[in-house]
Each structure stands twice: as C-alpha cells, then as structure tokens.
Structure 1
C-alpha cells in the first residue's frame, strides 16, 4: 500500500474510533525515545470478535509476512553507557553479514526459526505465537570484537511471567522448562579452568538460605564487581519466594563476607579479564546447539529460555540428555540438568 492510501485508511480508522496514534519522540541528549505507534482500540477488536476474528485465529483470516522474515537474525550493540543513576542500552551497530562467523550464526538462527515456525506454539492467553528468535551480540565497539561477546537469543515469549509460561503449549502439549542448575557458576569453572563437581549442591557452604547465596553469586558474576546493595529487581524476586525485608535481614556486605570463603572462585572472577558477556556467549551457544539438535535429530521443538529450554512434557528426558551432552561437548564439564517432570 502506498503512503497516501495508507494515510487515508489510518485517518478513517481513527475517525471511527478503531485506531489511535501515539506519536514518538527523541531526546538526543539522553539517547532515549520511542517510535510513533499505531494502536488498535477495544472497539475494533470487539467488532472483529463479533465476526469471529480474534488474535488467536488471526492466521486463518489474514495472510502477512512472518516475523522471522522481517526481523534480522543477528544484531550487534555497543557497550552499555552508565550515567548514574541511569543506564543507557548500547546503540545498535552495523552487522557484517559477509563475516563467516556472522553467516554461521545467522544460518543457525534461521534454521531454528524455520523449524519452530512449522509448530503450533500457543501462549497463556490462547494466542498463536509468531516466533522469530534473534541473537544479540554485545560490546561491538570494543577492540578485537569478533561476535564473541553476549549473543543470547531473544524472543517476546521469554518476558511472560513464569507462572503464566506454564500454560504455553507446543503442538497441543503441556510444556515444562528444563534448565541448567547453577549455569553461570558452572561456566565460571570452565572459563577459569577449575574442576566442577556435579554430585554436590554448587551453592552449599555458607550458613544462609540457598536462595540468598544463589542470588549473591549470580549478581556478582553477572556484574563487573561486587554489589554494594541489593538491586530492586532481585529484592522483588526474593520477596516472591517469601523473603521479607531482604536488605536489612541479609545486608549485602554481610552476605559477601559469609560467601567469599566458600566461593574463592568468585574473587578470582572479579579480578579476571572475563565478564558477563563471556558467560552469555558460552551459555547461548550451548543452548542454541541443543535447540537445533533437538529439532533436526529428534524432531523435538524447544523454546530457548537462556539457561533453559521449554519443551513438551513428554520430551523432557531427551532434552535433559541433549543439554548435558552439548554442555560437555563445549566445556568438558558435566553440568547439573535435572528432569522437572
């Protein structure tokens, strides 16, 4: 549709109360802003529903370009800028698709997307998901960057709250998440060349609740240094698990003092040249290789969830085996991957 017909159609929809326009803005000083958005109104969705057209069955009524055909499979971002108390996401950078490394990564994402696009994935609201994974690499403005920092695969379903993700179905089957226990801590042993024991609880040691220990370890190795206080997001997650008044009952400095003697590898990590981006890179490649292998070898659709894969309940045992094997192949370490079924 051309510009003039589209403008006229949009004006007609707005005049009848079927759509509204939210103009975008740009603040060049802070690099923040939004694009102009066209939003449909309840009046339009109610009228369509009266004719039997809903978000859930939209694929049966409209023919349009799939998300995987529109979203670039590989993205690259510069280093995140921090101006206390604000954090600005790294700007998007040009991706060199002529680079053999990028070509390989893009081919893998396209292959996974093509396979998942043939499956019926329905979310907790009954909406059919149009899946288009994209892999985002980071620190692209740093010298020596070779698409080896970050690289996690992202999709909108990952933002669905855990309690609702349980209602996602794949090809009509109930799903569960198979995850790597203490994934970052295990990868830390790999990067620093230390042996890892998969037969004991990796968070055992300090006289503190396991959730507190786990939160501190992951916060520290996912950051560039020790935290001075608990982030609000972490406090909220701990409160959801029943912890009350976390900053006062478990002061960050006291938790650090209790944990460090049991986790000397964390001290080594803080002083090393590695960062969260190296953990993301190792984690993402393992999980994407597992996702591709499940699809191509076992015909099992899996939705990447960073350190986990959401699969149909009946496919959980095979998923555990594949994740363990891919982790061993990449790191030489036997990871802890339990079957939640």
Structure 2
C-alpha cells in the first residue's frame, strides 16, 4: 500500500525507429559493412541455388553494380541503427520499422533493398526479428504521421550477439559507436511559423500560459539558391570530418531556416543558423563542458559575440552603436538582467514588450523577485530606451528574431568559410565559435571582420577561457589598424 508519498514515474525505455538516416564513417565500420555485404551476397547465391534456379539453367546469380550499391547502402544504414540502438542505455536496444511497401516512398532506402538486407541479416543470424505493436511515426521526408504497417504490426529488429561479436572483431566497439556510425541530415531544413497554444501550468504560475509549438517542417522545391546553400553546408561538413573532435559529439551540420509557411515565396533569409544534428551534440553541452573540447588534440577556445542581437539590430536600422563602448552597463537600473530580458524579448517579438510573460514572472519569482512590484515594465522600458534610443525604431522596422538571426548566421558562415580557406577548423555555437587555441588570434580577427562586414557594426568579442594568453591574442587581433572595416565605421 502507498504511504501517501509521491511516486516518481519513470518513463519506460523506447524502441528506436529506423529512418535509415545513419551512415558508416570510420574505416572500421566501412570494413564491417563490406564483410556483411559479402556474406549477404553469398547467402543470396546459395538461396537461389536451393530454390532450383541453377547456373546451368539461368546463369550464375550475380548482383549488378546498381543492385550491389543499393544493398550496401541499406545494410550500412540498418546495421548502424541496430548497433547505435544496442549501445544506447536509455533505449531498449531494439529497432522497429514497417515492412509495408508504400512506407518507403521518397526515403533514402528502397523497399526492395531493405527487404533484401533484413532477410540476409536474419538468415546470417546477425539480427532477430519479431512482430511488434502498431505504431505511428513521422517519416521525416514529408513530416506526416504514418500508421506503420497499417493493418498489421511494425516489425522489431535487434542485433544478435553474433553481430556484436562481428562488429567487435572489426574494431567497432559499442562504447565508441558514434565514432563509427553517424546520423545523417539534409543540409537544409525549412520550418513554418511557430505557434502558441494554451495549456495548464502549475498553480505557482497562476493558471494558464501559452506554450510555444515549433513550426512543422516544410517541403520545398530545389533551386539555384538552395543548391548554393546546400553546397556551403556540405563543404563545411566534409572539411570538418578531416579532424578528430573529442569532448563533444559532432556528426555534421544543417542550416535551419524559419517562417517558411509559403515555401515557394521564401527567400531563404529568415533564421539560417547552423545546427549540429544528432542527439547530445557539443552545442547542447554547458559552456564549461565545451571548454574541454579538443580538435586534433589541441585545446580549444570559445569566442563569443556579446550582445549579438542588439548589435545586429542597430546595424540593420543603421543606428550608431559600438558595443565596445559598453552594452548592458549603460542601462540605469540595478538589475541589468531584467533590462536585458526586456530588450531581448522585445527584439525577438519585433515589438516593445508591454507586459511581462507569465513564464518570465515565474522564473524571477523563484529567485524572490516580483517583477510587477520590483521592476514595473514601464520603468524598465524607460531605462532601456534611454540607454538604446534606436529601440524606438523597433515597431516600424518589421524586424523580428528571424531577421536578426539570419544576419548573425551569415556572419558565422562567412567566418567559417574564410577559416576553411586557411585550413582552420571551427565549430559554431550560434553566436560563438570554438577554435583550436593556436588559431585564436586569426579566428578572432576573421570573426570580427565578417560580423562587421555583414552587420555594419563592430562586434564585442569575449571569451570565458581560462587558458593563458587568450585575452591577449584576441585583443591583438581586434587592434590591428589595417582592418578594412575601419574605413566604414559608422
């Protein structure tokens, strides 16, 4: 019987959906897949002979080049899923996928290739298969929920000990599986407008409050513009795969664009940040953990653009502003964070904030601050506008977070492209970049110029790195008199 104490609900582990967006990247994984493909082809030959299709009647069984490539791709992606699922302690170790033919339309693996792959793996005792419960899943390429296996049940697959042993034999260890297989993502992603819905909240938050629902993925027709953007991302990914990154997961990037409800009229100038795809990547790590990342054994430094959106806004409305002369400290209010929140929320919404959001109220209340009582919004607004008069232009500017993000993202893309040209690896974290310690001075200078060029205002660059000499290198990079941007200082 219960003693009245609250019972913690533990979410059960889930099976993994096989979307086939996994690929072998290490030499060990590629060799493993080659071995499995060879075994699968031999099994197919033997099965044909057992079925009575003898060489004397129809000729020796042999896959054509296209068929062999298709089988290899299916096996690489599926085996990757199986081993990644097996290595994940938060999942069941099992993978599910419908065997219904129409569920493969538009995907990276064809129905015939997957059928050949799983049948060979099952016959070789490298995978076990069993029926599962009916499921729903968004397939990714059309973003629509699909009832998997319609009238039946999605099949469940699991790597057998024999597959585990074969992988280990080829140097593919489960504890290091993400070095061998990586998730795959399209280079570009377009999403519609985010929406707000009302949902119950805790009593501490006072009833109900809106919850942001991320916009759905939107399909788009390829064009010269999208091809150019995809080529940029592909070049970044191909370059960075030449380096060994430790201390944080990195599989590759995609650029995420926003507010694309009407894809045919979208100009690819909203959002556009570089996102590291996959789960648990370096971008989702706290700053103190990112500080431990190494690139080819070199320690790294994260260089931040301080007050990025505020600087971008001044540049886009062509208002004088030099963040090196001070940012938040200009505001005549004892709690700078409160004013900073008012400014950032206003910039994100494209309009001056007139009422504190309930979520913000709850966050401050947990620290003992009652915003309505301690920091009336009209007082905070007055202090913010006195410090940054250009914010009065916000209402008529038509600018929101999506336009500000795009300008910032373009500055980061320019920086990374120029660093690649010089052979320097760089990992972006939205409004900052991570670079090897020996390249700090070069990277700081390139970032400074790229941001100034794109935005029209100089950035305030900072770093929290405790490594010796970082501050001096950054200061030296920014102080160079020959910078082309000096002539355009506004």
Classify the TM-score, shorter chain: 0.7 to 0.9
1:214 aligns with 2:326: no
1:286 aligns with 2:411: yes
1:141 aligns with 2:261: yes
Question: Which of 436, 441, 459 does residue 312 from structure 1 map onto?
Answer: 436
CA contact (8 A) 2:300 2:434 kept: yes
Q: Aligned equivalents of 2:147 and 2:342: distance in 1? A: 37
Question: Which of 245, 266, 281 does residue 368 from structure 2 map onto?
Answer: 245
1:166 aligns with 2:291: yes
How far does the alpha carbon of each residue in 1:68-121 deviate from its partner, in whole angstroms, 9 at most, with x for none? Answer: xx32111111111222323322221223322x2222211111111111111111
**1:121 to 1:246, Cα distance in 2 relative to 1, 3 A:** farther
Partner of 1:103: 227
Q: Aligned equivalents of 1:277 and 1:3: distance in 2? A: 43
Q: Secondary structure at the match of 2:458?
A: coil
CA contact (8 A) 2:247 2:290 kept: yes
Q: Secondary structure at the match of 1:260?
A: helix
Partner of 2:453: 329
Q: Aligned equivalents of 2:229 and 2:430: distance in 1? A: 16
Partner of 2:314: 189
Q: Aligned equivalents of 2:128 and 2:459: distance in 1? A: 55
**1:22 to 1:338, Cα distance in 2 relative to 1, 3 A:** farther
How many aligned residue pairs are there? 317
Q: Aligned equivalents of 2:345 and 2:404: distance in 1? A: 13
How far does the alpha carbon of each residue in 1:110-133 deviate from its partner, in whole angstroms, 9 at most, with x for none? Answer: 111111111111225xxxx34211
Q: Which has the larger radius of gyration?
A: 2
Q: Secondary structure at the match of 1:139?
A: coil
Question: Which of 162, 183, 190 does residue 76 from structure 1 map onto?
Answer: 190
**1:285 to 1:220, Cα distance in 2 relative to 1, 3 A:** same
CA contact (8 A) 1:206 1:213 kept: no
Q: Aligned equivalents of 1:207 and 1:219: distance in 2? A: 17
Q: Quote the offset at 1:303 in angstroms.
A: 0.4
CA contact (8 A) 2:427 2:435 kept: yes
Partner of 1:122: 246
Q: Quote the offset at 1:199 in angstroms.
A: 3.5
Q: Aligned equivalents of 2:362 and 2:322: distance in 1? A: 29
Q: Aligned equivalents of 2:342 and 2:307: distance in 1? A: 12
Q: Aligned equivalents of 1:39 and 1:178: distance in 2? A: 45
TM-score normalised over the length of structure 2: 0.55
1:223 aligns with 2:335: no
CA contact (8 A) 1:235 1:246 kept: no
CA contact (8 A) 1:151 1:280 kept: yes
**1:50 to 1:147, Cα distance in 2 relative to 1, 3 A:** closer
Q: What is the correspondence of 1:249-268 to structure 2 with a 5 Å cutoff?
A: 251=375, 253=377, 254-268=379-393
Q: What is the correspondence of 1:37-76 to structure 2 with a 5 Å cutoff?
A: 54=173, 57-58=176-177, 67=183, 70-76=184-190
Q: Quote the offset at 1:279 in angstroms.
A: 0.5
Q: Quote the offset at 1:4 in angstroms.
A: 7.1
Q: Secondary structure at the match of 1:175?
A: strand
CA contact (8 A) 1:229 1:247 kept: no
Task: Extract unaligned runs of 5+ from structure 1.
Answer: none
Q: Secondary structure at the match of 1:92?
A: coil
Partner of 2:69: none
Q: Quote the offset at 1:324 in angstroms.
A: 0.7
Q: Quote the offset at 1:47 in angstroms.
A: 8.9
Q: Quote the offset at 1:222 in angstroms.
A: 1.6
How far does the alpha carbon of each residue in 1:309-334 deviate from its partner, in whole angstroms, 9 at most, with x for none? Answer: 01122222211100111112223322
How far does the alpha carbon of each residue in 1:193-216 deviate from its partner, in whole angstroms, 9 at most, with x for none? Answer: 111124311221222233333333
